[in-house]
Amino acid sequence: MDQTKDVIKLVIPAKAQYVGVVRLTVSGIANRLGFNYDEIEDMKLAVAEACTNAVDHAYRECEDKGNIDVTFHIFGDRLEIKIKDEGNSFDIAAVKKRCGPIENQLPFTSMRERGLGLHLMETLMDRVDIHGGQGVVVTLTKFTNRDEVDQDVDSPAKTESNR
């Protein structure tokens, strides 16, 4: 079951106007694999967040913005999407520590306007792996069979709706 069946590759310039093209591709592939509307929208958003981070952070100091490689690995039981940039790496542990939903106990003046992307990725996907080094590789996984998946991935949303 772990054998990759098919691989689809997409290379875009690391510019914000091309992130929409990746979203359309996600939509096309995920639809082909039988994911439902909400799962597809979740994946589009998570992948867009990863690409936006690559555009924003990875190439901040470069004049030539470089490319973002997006690779879709289609397995029997899941879709894995790797978003790879060749830009500057960052302190993954430090970023993870800061990520999370916005807390309404804090005064409004200290509300973050950025940094929700990683939290969204972790909530919307079944698995998120981030590897630094020469550039950053973010791997986002969504299982096609929801029954095999830890349902806790949706917990922040569910807790809210139970109120």
Partner 1 sequence: MNVTIQEETRSEQVSALVVSGEVDAYTAPQLREKLMPLCKENREIYLDLSRVDYMDSTGLGVLIGAYKQLRSGGGRLVLTGMSPRLKRLMKITGLTEILDIEDGV
The CA-based angle 79-85-91, given to 5 degrees, is: 100
Q: Work out whether 123 is an interface residue with partner 1 (CB under 8 A).
A: yes
Q: Which stretch binds partner 1 (CB under 8 A): 6-14, 18-26, 58-66, 77-85?
A: 18-26
The CA-based angle 82-115-36, given to 5 degrees, is: 50
Tell me whether residue 6 or residue 150 sits nearer to partner 1 (CB atom).
Answer: 150
Q: How far apart are CA 67 and CA 85, in angstroms?
A: 7
Tell me whether residue 20 or residue 76 sits nearer to partner 1 (CB atom).
Answer: 20
Q: How far apart are CA 25 and CA 145, in angstroms?
A: 21
Site residues for partner 1 per CB under 8 A:
16-17, 19-20, 23, 38, 41, 44-45, 48-49, 52, 55-56, 101-104, 108-109, 111-114, 116-117, 119-120, 123-124, 156-157, 160-161
